[in-house]
Amino acid sequence: MAGAAAAGGGWSSRTAFILAAVGAAVGLGNIWRFPTLAGENGGGAFVLVYIGFVVLLGAPLVLSEILLGRAGGEDAIGSVRNVARASGRSERWRGLGALQITSGFLILSFYCVVAGWVVNYILASGEDWFGALFAGDPFAMAFDGETQEQITGRMGALFGDPIRMIALHSAFMAITIWIVASGVTDGIEKAATWLMPAFFVLLVMVTIYGAFTGDFGRALSFMFTPDFSKLSPGVLNEALGQALFSLSLAAGGLLTYGAYVSKEVNLAPTAAMIAAADTAVAILAGLMIFPIVFAVGLDPAAGPALIFQTLPVAFSSMPAGALVGFVFFVLIFFAALTSSISLLEGPTAWVIDAFGLKRPSAAILVGLTAWLIGVACALGYSVWSDVRLLGFWDIFANTDILDTIDGFTGKIMLPLAALLVAVFVGWRADRQLVERETGLSGGAFVLWRFLVAWLCPIAVSVVLLFGLFPNLLG
Ligand code: TRP
């Protein structure tokens, strides 16, 4: 086995692996997508279904993917092939790895565009806060003297300026490429060990700020009082797609990171920790954002504009809003970066293993190709706003380029790959090999295997079916 690890080192400790994996998991999915979806789908009911999916499907699948990676010891495609071979199964199972790598590549392409929006807001709120600081008022409210229209108008201005959007997206992609090119130990691990702790500190600080200055009680009841009339097959599909996306499942990230884990690490508790940390951050992000939104009487169901328009408006009438707004966007940036790294690492490891390229060349090649698709996504907000990639398909008839790629990967490719992982690990891979890798025994193994082999395939198939055919129930 050549192994991608050989081309970039492996994790230097269990802690390093956990930080990198939590870094992959915690990202725009937690701070942008989760609160947006919870806000749009009525809060409590969505949160409850989401947690159910994470516990019953997500966490068992996290363990499945990490163990496949470690047992296979290569990139996502090579690892699945190796495990299939060792289990006496068809090597065509490597298609599962190929599907995952393709998804990761596509997600990377639009992920960096959205991360570019975050950079835009770091610049805007940074300029705002430093201006206040030099004027002798470090605790000013955000965007003092601007009207609500002027503040929300920043997003429209960015969307109407493709050059600016592409410049910011390029900058973010360049940083991502640079870290991945530096290697697993010297790039990915180092970035995670600096950025993740900084992220957690900032997250807790802004949450405490929101709890004191915002409407924490209302946020709590919004997030934890389920209204079951809000549940529909569409909401279930959203929640499952979100759970897979947020845990970095089914798109090559964890499979690839798993290959860099040493044999001594006990995988089951590690997987549980990763899933728990990711979910805790999503909930904390809700508890950070909604008190601030409610404090100034804004709408939690604002959709994707929630953090880019609603929050800046809220910061404009809150104490020290300029500073907190700036910190808020910096913390999202840290989270997004440790995730985009994992998205780039999956296809990069494959290019290294399959074509023998050097790590820096592979990272640049993959990154530039994804960047090009990102350019199309960015143009989809202005000159190409009429383009409908899958316009013939009713569920994508009205979505722009970015939303189409996001929707197609999240609603279809990720569930499909998750289904295949569950079937492969639950039924096809050698039982002894699997049991040994999990480190589980007795009842714990039986329970885990039941969730992977039975519950995951059934639940994911049902949800996938409703995602593809939303009119199935009439
Ligand atoms: N989980 C990340 C987030 O929530 C995004 C991400 C990183 C991802 N790596 C992934 C999603 C692999 C799917 C697959 O922002």
Domain range for residue 436? 4-473
370-393 average pLDDT score: 91
pLDDT digits (tens, 9 = 90+) for 151-209: 999 999 999 999 999 999 999 999 999 999 999 999 999 999 999 999 999 999 999 99
In the chain, how many domains are there?
1
The reported pLDDT for the residue numbered 474 is: 52
50-78 average pLDDT score: 97
Q: Mean pLDDT lowest for which of 22-26, 286-290, 390-394? A: 390-394
The reported pLDDT for the residue numbered 228 is: 86
Q: How far is the CA of 63 from the centre of ligand 1 (A)?
A: 16
Helices (H), 309-358: 311-315, 321-355
387-399 average pLDDT score: 85
How far apart CA 237 and CA 23 sit, in angstroms, is 25
Work out the pLDDT band at 473, boundaries 50, 70, 90. low
The reported pLDDT for the residue numbered 145 is: 87
Work out the pLDDT band at 457, boundaries 50, 70, 90. very high
- Residue 215 is classified by DSSP as -
Q: How far is the CA of 339 from the centre of ligand 1 (A)?
A: 6
Atom of ligand 1 nearest to the CA of 247: 1
434-457 average pLDDT score: 97
The reported pLDDT for the residue numbered 7 is: 60
Atom of ligand 1 nearest to the CA of 254: 12
320 lines ligand 1 (CB under 6 A): no
253 lines ligand 1 (CB under 6 A): yes
339 lines ligand 1 (CB under 6 A): yes
CATH of the domain at 203: 1.20.1740
The angle formed by the CA atoms of residues 29, 33 and 38, to the nearest 5 degrees, is: 125
Which residue has tokens 């979100």? Answer: 242
pLDDT digits (tens, 9 = 90+) for 70-104: 999 999 999 999 999 999 999 999 999 999 999 99
Is the Cβ–Cβ distance between 346 and 258 less than 8 Å?
no
The reported pLDDT for the residue numbered 396 is: 85
276-280 average pLDDT score: 97
Which residue has tokens 């946020």? Answer: 219
415 lines ligand 1 (CB under 6 A): no
Q: Which residue owns the Cα nearest ligand 1 atom 13?
A: 248
Work out the pLDDT band at 6, boundaries 50, 70, 90. very low
Q: Which residue owns the Cα nearest ligand 1 atom 7?
A: 339
Please name which of 171, 320, 238 lies closest in space to residue 34, comparing C-alpha atoms.
238
Q: Mean pLDDT lowest for which of 108-122, 398-412, 443-457? A: 398-412
The reported pLDDT for the residue numbered 121 is: 97
* pLDDT score of 425 more than 90: yes
286 lines ligand 1 (CB under 6 A): no
Atom of ligand 1 nearest to the CA of 346: 12
Q: How far is the CA of 254 from the centre of ligand 1 (A)?
A: 9
The reported pLDDT for the residue numbered 1 is: 43
